[in-house]
């Protein structure tokens, strides 16, 4: 974590505190839990970082996009005693863009109602399945210049049209556009759940129809199998558009399934239909 990062959609990470707790299935294989244990910390104990880290953005003179709380959730209730201090750092550094991504948008809304929301703070929430799409209705209440969603890890197909300002079922859009950026990606790591390519194609097409930047971050652990040879003993599964999984060894291949190979995040890459999708809002 720090002034440089491997996360593709940001320039830096800032963690005024670390540690979190799981709130939905998208949290099941979160990298933070394994990382905290590797460093000898309890990942479910939220703790303030030391001053050099807490105040780091004050030293960064060059403008950066900063993923805030990449090892926590800014709006975790266990961090509430530090919110004011961190918000002061944000307000004192208008040269940076702070990308605050939360799974607790209700708390974000309450904060926005009681504090000035600076124009350099982008507000986002995570939606891993349709069940959690109502988080976007809460996000709509945050007066951020850029509101975004992270559809990662993608666990099933998601319809974002109501929050992209698109019509559904031939009816006119019932809500004004909420989102101005969409990030999508599959899960990585040894316990990753494979995705279906059509999930990402659908989100991409929805974004194009709405004129909203689409950022495809990664396939994750699994990538689609086409006709190329795979290394011996590569695990291959068949994924149904509903998310159900069957083994490649099944005698009957259902045409609705797509073969996905476990090759690791780096080998899987981020090409969707032969090209990268790296859409970003204007700074």
**Residue-wise pLDDT tens digits, 57-108:** 999 999 999 999 999 999 999 999 999 999 999 999 999 999 999 999 999 9
Which among 96, 16, 17 has a CA at the least distance from the CA of 60?
Answer: 96
User: Do 146 and 179 contact (CB within 8 A), yes or no?
Assistant: no
Supply angle C-alpha 8, 50, 97, rounded to 5.
35
* 1, pLDDT greater than 70: no
Mean pLDDT score, 242-270: 82
pTM comes to 0.94
Please report which confidence band the pLDDT of residue 253 belongs to, taking 50, 70 and 90 as the band edges. Answer: low
* 231, pLDDT greater than 90: no
What are the C-alpha distances in Å from 84 to residues 74, 78, 90, 185?
11, 13, 10, 32
Query: Which is it for the CA torsion 49, 52, 55, 60, positive or negative?
Result: negative
SS3 126: strand
Other CB atoms closer than 10 Å to residue 43's CB: what's the count?
Answer: 21
Mean pLDDT score, 187-205: 96
d(CA 88, CA 80): 14
* 230, pLDDT greater than 90: no
Structural domains of the chain ordered from first start: 12-223+264-268 (3.80.30)
State percent of the chain over pLDDT 90.
Answer: 85
What are the C-alpha distances in Å from 4 to residues 140, 181, 190, 266?
30, 22, 25, 19
């Amino acid at each position: 974590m720090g002034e440089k990062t491997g996360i593709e959609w940001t320039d830096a990470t800032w963690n005024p505190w670390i540690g979190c707790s799981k709130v939905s299935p998208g949290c099941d294989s979160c990298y933070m839990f394994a990382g905290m244990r590797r460093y000898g910390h309890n990942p479910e104990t939220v703790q303030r970082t030391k001053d050099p880290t807490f105040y780091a953005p004050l030293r960064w003179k060059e403008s950066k996009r900063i993923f805030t709380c990449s090892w926590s959730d800014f709006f975790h209730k266990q961090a509430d005693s530090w919110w004011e201090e961190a918000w002061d750092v944000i307000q004192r550094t208008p040269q940076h863009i702070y990308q605050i991504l939360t799974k607790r948008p209700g708390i974000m809304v309450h904060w926005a109602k009681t504090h000035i929301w600076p124009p350099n703070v982008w507000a986002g929430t995570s939606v891993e399945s349709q069940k959690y799409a109502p988080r976007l209705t809460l996000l709509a209440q945050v007066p951020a210049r850029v509101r975004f969603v992270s559809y990662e890890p993608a666990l099933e197909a998601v319809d974002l049209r109501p929050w992209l300002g698109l019509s559904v079922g031939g009816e006119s859009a019932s809500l004004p556009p909420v989102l101005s950026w969409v990030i999508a990606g599959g899960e990585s790591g040894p316990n990753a759940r494979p995705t279906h390519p059509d999930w990402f194609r659908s989100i991409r097409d929805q974004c194009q129809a709405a004129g909203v930047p689409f950022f495809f971050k990664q396939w994750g652990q699994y990538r689609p199998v086409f006709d190329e040879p795979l290394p011996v003993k590569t695990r291959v599964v068949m994924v149904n558009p509903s998310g159900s999984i069957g083994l490649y060894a099944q005698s009957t291949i259902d045409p609705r399934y797509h073969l996905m190979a476990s090759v690791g995040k780096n080998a899987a890459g981020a090409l969707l239909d032969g090209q990268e999708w790296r859409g970003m809002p204007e700074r």
